[in-house]
């Protein structure tokens, strides 16, 4: 997004390490996000995420991004020394928290987003085998005539640093893989 800071995208031990940006996706600043253009209405995207060095407010996860005014994030978030799975919708000037599930001190999680052409379904797993539903979101909320953006939506991974830790180093998420399948 914007002019990316390439030092925040690192391959380490066969994983993509995303170092959190202090800028959110809705801001007109470079945020840490890497995405694949959505070329079909039906898809499944999955990743395995490990969150490291997270302070309160730091997070990493998957995102379906249409524009700065319309995107949905599914993430592992550190909140006051405990971990939470969150699903958030940015819709115009509104930021809606759809799911906020406490998961203890979990630092490793599999995240999946799928689309059947009308809804986005967000799921998670703690073992990579059995996925549990977090939320479903109507795709009409990301239409260009509502949130702008003429380009196809991007589906990908992001990291955000909501703490002030950047003065001493970066929070980062290691993504073992990103599997994207069209028309599953």
Question: In the numeric block, which tokens belong to residue 19?
Answer: 């170092």
pLDDT at 28 over 90: no
Question: CA dihedral defined by 151, 175, 76, 115, rounded to 10 degrees?
Answer: 40
pLDDT tens column, 7-24: 889 998 899 999 888 888
pLDDT tens column, 114-154: 999 999 999 999 999 999 999 999 999 999 999 998 899 99
* φ and ψ of 68, to 5 deg: -65, -15
Of 8 and 168, the one with more pLDDT? 8
Please give the span between the terminal C-alpha atoms of the chain, in angstroms, as a whole number.
28
List the strands of the sheet with 42-52, edge to edge.
9-12, 15-19, 172-182, 42-52, 108-116, 119-125, 132-138
Question: CA dihedral defined by 15, 89, 182, 158, rounded to 10 degrees?
Answer: -20
Handedness of CA 100, 88, 82, 114 (dihedral sign): positive
Range name among 9-13, 59-63, 77-81, 172-176 with the lowest pLDDT average = 77-81
Of 81 and 31, the one with more pLDDT? 31
∠ CA 174-176-179, nearest 5°, is 125
Indicate whether this model's pTM tops 0.75: yes
pLDDT at 167 over 60: no
Q: In whole numbers, what is the pLDDT of the chain averaged over residues? A: 90
Secondary element (H or E) of residue 99: strand 94-102
* Burial group, residue 157, by CB count within 10 angstroms (0-12, 13-18, 19+): buried
CB-CB contact of 45 with 123 (8 Å): no
Q: Considering only the top CATH level, what class is 10-163?
A: mainly beta
Domain extent listing, the chain: 10-163
CA 70/CA 149 separation, integer angstroms: 9
CB-CB contact of 169 with 25 (8 Å): no
pLDDT at 168 over 80: no
CB-CB contact of 51 with 58 (8 Å): yes
Average pLDDT over residues 94-105: 94
* pLDDT, position 165: 58
């Amino acid at each position: 997004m914007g002019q990316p800071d390439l030092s925040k995208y690192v391959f380490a031990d066969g994983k993509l390490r995303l170092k959190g940006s202090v800028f959110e996706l809705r801001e007109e600043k470079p945020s840490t996000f890497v995405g694949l253009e959505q070329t079909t209405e039906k898809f499944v995207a999955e990743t395995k995420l490990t969150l490291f060095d997270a302070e309160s407010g730091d997070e990493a996860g998957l995102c379906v991004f249409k524009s700065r005014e319309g995107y949905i994030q599914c993430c592992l978030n550190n909140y006051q020394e405990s971990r939470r799975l969150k699903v958030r919708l940015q819709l115009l000037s509104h930021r809606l928290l759809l799911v906020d599930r406490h998961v203890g001190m979990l630092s490793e999680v599999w995240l999946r987003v799928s689309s059947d052409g009308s809804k986005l379904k967000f799921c998670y797993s703690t073992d990579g085998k059995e996925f549990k539903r977090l939320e479903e979101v109507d795709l009409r909320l990301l239409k260009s005539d509502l949130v702008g953006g003429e380009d196809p939506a991007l589906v990908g991974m992001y990291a955000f640093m909501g703490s002030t830790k950047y003065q001493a180093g970066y929070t980062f998420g290691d993504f073992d893989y990103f599997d994207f399948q069209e028309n599953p």
